[in-house]
Amino acid sequence: MAKSEPINQHEENSRTLSRLFSIASTSVDQNQMLHLFLDELLSLSWLSLQPKAGIFLTIKRPGEKPVLKLEAQRNLDDSIIDGCAKISFGECLCGKAASTGSPVHASCINEGHEKMYADMPPHGHYSVPILSGKHVLGVLVLYLPHGTEYNQKHVDFLTRCTSVLSLTLELRDKERKLLEVNRELAFQKATLDQHAIVSIADAAGDIVYANSKFCEISGYHQEELLHRNHRILKSGEHSQAFYEKLWQTIGSGKVWHGEIKNRRKDGGYYWVNATIVPFLNEAGRPFQYVAIRTDITEQKKMQDDLSQAQKVANIGSWSLNLTNNELSWSDQIFNIFGIDQSEFEASYEGFLSTIHPDDLDMVGQRYQQSLNNDMPYDIIHRIIRKDNKEVRWVHEVCAHQRDNNGNVIRSDGTVQDITERKLAQDEIQRLAMTDQLTGIANRNQFHRRFDEILKLARREKKVVILMLLDLDRFKPVNDTFGHQVGDSLLKQAAAILAKNCRDTDVVARLGGDEFAIILVHPDSRDRASEISERIISELTKPFTIENQQINIGISIGLAAYPADADNEDRLINHADKALYKAKEAGRNTYRFYSEVL
């Protein structure tokens, strides 16, 4: 049985840990706290230490490797302070403790001491990493008399001490970050209050906070608003259904955006663009709502003036009298539809005859819904011009007039040719989903199409095979011949991938030299093997670019739905594992996930 330690050593250890916790709880700055830690450790009677010690903390700047910086020391020679001011991970004994995450011991000056100077007195070391999980926050170094052997009990106790130091450093870092967050929140609140109308309401919609901008635009004093319901601002502009939908949205924990017309205390009106954000309790239910609004009264007035100007000028406008089915068009309507006024009389049937056949049912349904359910008629669809059969895109909006019984008696609307804008939007969408270098799908389109393909495969019980492909030895091409040659190589590689797939498959560049292929409903696994073999065969042939012969390779990992995984994330993960095995096998080959299980 191991011999038990003297009771006094247990007591001293307990007192030391207690004092370390006391030091951690003081309000002294971090540098002073680190020095107090060192003083406490150097005072241990049982630990045969030289009165020399130091604490290094990890410094990690973006784009640089982490280093240890000497932040606190006791009785270290100037040569040590200067030479060890910064130590790279893996360098000298302290750097090795940081890189391995394990304590390092030296009983004397040996080959592990990479930081040395003339007349360095003989000594030993304990270098103990300060850990937070797998992260190295720093290293505690204690000097030992020359020849001191490794003692596991010493190391265990010092590791407990560094755990206290780690906890202290983490807590102080979180306190610092919390202080920064609070400052930022205070700044944001002050900025928001200066430029926006802000209020907070409780779960019932009663106002519990209103800033000065809210009081200014509504005409109410703050005490008149507090604990009053937002209903005092209702203007009568919006239907009950409008407010019910608003409350349904925020009551379900979702953010609501929209425009609201409110009434001031003096009876006047103002428009706001509002965002209402619900805050949820532990049960996931809203307990308060923060509303941020901007005044758009002038903007709405300008919109009304513009609408009136368009109506007066008869630009692309139409009117339908439902009591007698009389339809009138402005001149611009005839121009948009490519119709000669002398040969055609405006009619609803004539309008329907211009609509693209694929959009005809949608347009009719939307118009009927606007009549029956008071849904807005705001629609984009295609037409076919009568004169040249050209397909054009139009944007239609209409408003209804109702009688006292709620029946529509008249519809007034506008038609705008938005073909160029629609084509530009489609082009922007295409560019957003296309890799600009290779012309194949980019990461965004890959994920969107993958989701669609998997949903279809689930419904139809079909097979989908994901291929992840990495070009091998591509980086040296960039380094040796430059990015222009590298880009040309990527284009040719993408063309080879696309050539070996069907139009229904998805070929995408995920970034750098990483590609992906989604085989949609392949005949069999052999089909994927054939494609992989063809791709490997073509990409391992020499490329000639700018009179340079270039050799690369490719590794491919494959995973199948539903055999290997039933969702996108797991398929990608499994294909990546298979890719890794292909690389381990010597590259220029492929592996199925089922082969590497």
Strands (E), 299-376: 317-321, 326-329
Q: CA angle 447-448-449, nearest 5°?
A: 95
Question: What pairs with residue 53 in β-bridges?
Answer: 74, 142
Q: How far from 26 is each of 33, 71, 77, 163, CA to CA, in Å?
A: 8, 18, 29, 17
Give the SS3 label for residue 544. Answer: strand
The catalytic position among 513, 526, 566, 576 is 513
Q: Are strands 104-106 and 464-472 parallel, antiparallel or unpaired?
A: unpaired
Give buried/exposed letters for 313-342 (b at 16+ CB in 10 A, else e): eeebbbbbeeeeeebebbebbbebbbbeee
* Residue located via tokens 């205390």: 265
304 is catalytic: no
Q: Which residues contact 393 (CB under 8 A, 6 or more apart)?
A: 380, 381, 382, 383, 417, 418, 419, 421, 422, 423
Structure tokens at 276: 């209402």
Q: Is the peptide bond before 562 cis (omega within 30 degrees of 0)?
A: yes
Phi and psi, residue 588, nearest 5°: 50, 40
- Distance set, CA 455 to CA 443, 448, 504, 524 (Å): 19, 11, 15, 20
- State whether the Cα torsion 164-168-171-177 is positive or negative: negative
Evaluate the CA torsion angle 314, 315, 321, 327 in order and state its sign: positive
For 435, 456, 583, the CA distances from 466, given in Å and listed in that order, are 19, 15, 17
SS3 at position 148: coil
Nearest Cα to Cα of residue 264 among 214, 223, 303: 214
Q: DSSP secondary-structure letter at 206?
A: B
| Sign of the four-CA dihedral 60, 64, 65, 69 | negative
CA 399 to chain centre: 40
Q: How far is CA 325 from CA 321, 337, 371, in A?
A: 5, 20, 14
Specify the length of the chain in residues: 597
Structure tokens at 526: 């052999």
Q: How far is CA 469 from CA 257, 569, 591, 597, in A?
A: 43, 16, 11, 19
Sign of CA dihedral 253, 258, 261, 265: positive
Q: Which residues contact 337 (CB under 8 A, 6 or more apart)?
A: 351, 354, 383, 385, 386
The torsion angles phi and psi of 545, rounded to 5 degrees, stand at -130, 120
Instruction: Kindly state the DSSP code that residue 125 receives in the 8-state scheme.
Output: E
Query: Which are the catalytic amino acids?
Result: 513
